[in-house]
Structure 1
Amino acid sequence: MAQHFLLSAQARTLSLKTVFKMGEDAAYEAFRQMRWPETEGEAVCPQCGCPDTYNITSRRRFKCVACYHQFSVTSGTIFASRKLPFTDLLAAIVIFVNGAKGVSALQVSRDLDVQYKTAFVLSHKLREAMALEDAGQRLSGTVEVDGAYFGGYVKPANRKADRVDRRTLLAQNGKRQSVIVIRQRGGDMLTFVGKGEAAGVAHVAAVVEPGTVVHADEASHWDALHARYETFRINHSEAYALDGACTNQAESFFSRLRRSEIGVHHHVAGPYLNAYAGEMAWREDNRRQPNGTQAAMVTRAAMVSLVSRKWAGYWQRAA
């Protein structure tokens, strides 16, 4: 029987022990290499693009020769105004990518000995950086589409006589949302959060190329796809796969997201549902990458991301 990739030595190329042994100077150099790979870590002014800078070594800052702008290795990135040392930032990224089903902010706060809010904001900044991988992406070939509902749990009444059918519209609390996934076979996937699964029809038309073969279930709102794509449908009450039609790869994404919700975060609904869905899509897309490669991908994405406008004012309750 073949060994699962996550159990192999190839999956473990970076550890927390390695990060903390490398020290602050080596971690700082790693961030420099990720920020400016084209110049092998030599600083480039983010304001005017001039490559001629000199170091202010006492503060780990740089000054541009052309415009005299002072900046650091994290200036203008998603880590701008960071207070954590570079070793802790790198360790946080390693902890984050090592969780196959995600990592809770509480665990990150305990592992790094930081406040919960610090770990919460940092984790969401990493999710925001991850989302850059799918920005503007379009899918083709053969794709599978499906949706699942999250959030909006309605607690049943204590007495059986007072309980109502919670499936009816009147019994809902309006907080339930649908995650729609569009997964290309042999490729990446895109996620979208809407009020209902039917909202995914327009999203499929926006991100899926003409001529693509689409697989969907028997939900009536997917009928509109037949006018635009060659579409196969599968009735899950009869079989998981039948006559060449199936959405098993889309279902595997929801399995990961459900396990993340139940076993790690316990609550992924509300305004952050889209971020958690995007994170699980990234993990599913890169599940066969070693953890060192995953950490490098996230670090690089964070260093090319602009300052987060959503999380920049969290401490001032702007988010």
Structure 2
Amino acid sequence: MAQHFLLSAEARTLSLASIYKGGEDAAYGIFCRMRWAETDGAPVCPRCGGLKHYDVKGRRKFKCAGCAHQFSVTSGTIFASRKMAFTDLCAAIVLCVNAVKGLSALQLGRDINCQYKTAWVLAHKLREALASEVEGMQLAGEVEIDGAYFGGKIRPDNHIESRKDRRKSENQNGERRVVVVLRERDGATKTFVRESEAEGVALAVDNVAPDATVYADEARHWDVLHDRFEAVGRINHSESYSTPEANTNQAESYFSRLRRMVDGQHHHVSARYLYQYAAEAAWKEDNRRLSNGDAFRRTAKLALASPVSRQWKGYWERNEG
């Protein structure tokens, strides 16, 4: 029997030890090569695109010879104004890509020796970068659509006479949301967080090519898909999980990963930020066959290509001021 890829040596091409063994200069070089891959790590001014520059003495900064703008390797990216060492940033990315079912901010903070709040924001910045890879993408070919509810669990009262029916909306806490997934078979995955699964019909129309073949389950709100797409396959899960004509196994595989991430690692995810965790699980599901070294490089490139985060820059200053 052939060995599974994730158990092979080819899946392990980067270790945490090698990051720290290389030191700060090597980690800085990794960032330069990821940020300025076209020039093999040579600085490019983010303001005018100039290649001529001066080194700012005593600092890892540059001054453009053309427009006199001072910049660094993280200027204009989600790591802008960073205080963390480059070795710790590289280590954080390695830890996040190695944790295929997610990594709690508390554990990340312990591993790289930083405050919980620092680790929490850093992890969210990386999730934002991962989500940017499929932003604006239209799915095509064979696409599966499904929805699953997360959050909103109410702890039952101690005494049975005080307990309420938690299935009723009036007895819920308003945190329950549905994650709608649109997943190409052997392709990309897009996720959305909405109030109800029926909203997924409009999402499919906006994000899937009209000539695609769409697969869904037996829920009645998916009936509209037959009018919007050339081919639609339906599977009745009360009768079977898969038939030769249709299945939504790829979507269910994604939800399995997301549930393990939410329940096993984070334990509680706010409805406000559920979309971030959903996007992270989608990226990891799509790239599960990458070696951890390739996953590291891909994540670093996405992070350094992402602009300064409007949501996460100065997050704690805004929310605790």
Q: Which bin holds the TM-score, normalised by the shorter protein?
A: over 0.9
Q: How far 1:162 sits from its partner (Å)?
A: 3.1
- Letter of the 1:299 counterpart: A
Q: How far 1:33 sits from its partner (Å)?
A: 0.6
Scaled by the length of structure 2, the TM-score of the pair is 0.97
Q: How far 1:261 sits from its partner (Å)?
A: 1.1
Match of 2:14 in 1: 14
Q: In the alignment, is residue 128 of structure 1 matched against residue 128 of structure 2?
A: yes
Match of 1:235 in 2: 236
Match of 1:278 in 2: 279
Match of 2:161 in 1: 161
Distance 1:13 1:61 in 2: 31
Distance 2:25 2:57 in 1: 12
SS in 1 for 2:143: strand
Q: Single out whichever of 275-284 and 146-155 deviates more from structure 2.
A: 146-155
SS in 2 for 1:210: coil
**Any stretches of 5+ residues in structure 1 without a counterpart?**
none
Match of 2:58 in 1: 58
- Deviations 1:284-310 (CA, angstroms, capped at 9, x unpaired): 000000000000011111111100110
Q: Percent identity?
A: 58
Q: How far 1:221 sits from its partner (Å)?
A: 1.0
Q: How far 1:170 sits from its partner (Å)?
A: 2.5
The equivalences for 1:46-125 within 5 A come to 46-125=46-125
Q: How far 1:184 sits from its partner (Å)?
A: 0.6
The equivalences for 1:238-257 within 5 A come to 238-257=239-258
Distance 2:36 2:45 in 1: 10
SS in 2 for 1:147: strand
Scaled by the length of structure 1, the TM-score of the pair is 0.97
Distance 1:167 1:310 in 2: 33
Q: Single out whichever of 113-122 and 234-243 deviates more from structure 2.
A: 234-243
**CA RMSD in angstroms, aligned pairs only:** 1.2
SS in 1 for 2:273: helix
Q: In the alignment, is residue 310 of structure 1 matched against residue 300 of structure 2?
A: no
Partners of 1:150 and 1:269 within 8 A in 2: no
SS in 1 for 2:147: strand
**Any stretches of 5+ residues in structure 2 without a counterpart?**
none
Partners of 1:77 and 1:307 within 8 A in 2: yes
SS in 1 for 2:272: helix
Q: How far 1:243 sits from its partner (Å)?
A: 4.7
Q: How far 1:262 sits from its partner (Å)?
A: 1.4
Q: Single out whichever of 280-289 and 55-64 deviates more from structure 2.
A: 55-64
Match of 2:144 in 1: 144
Partners of 1:63 and 1:70 within 8 A in 2: yes
Distance 2:267 2:250 in 1: 24
Q: In the alignment, is residue 261 of structure 1 matched against residue 262 of structure 2?
A: yes
Partners of 1:177 and 1:269 within 8 A in 2: no
Q: In the alignment, is residue 171 of structure 1 matched against residue 171 of structure 2?
A: yes
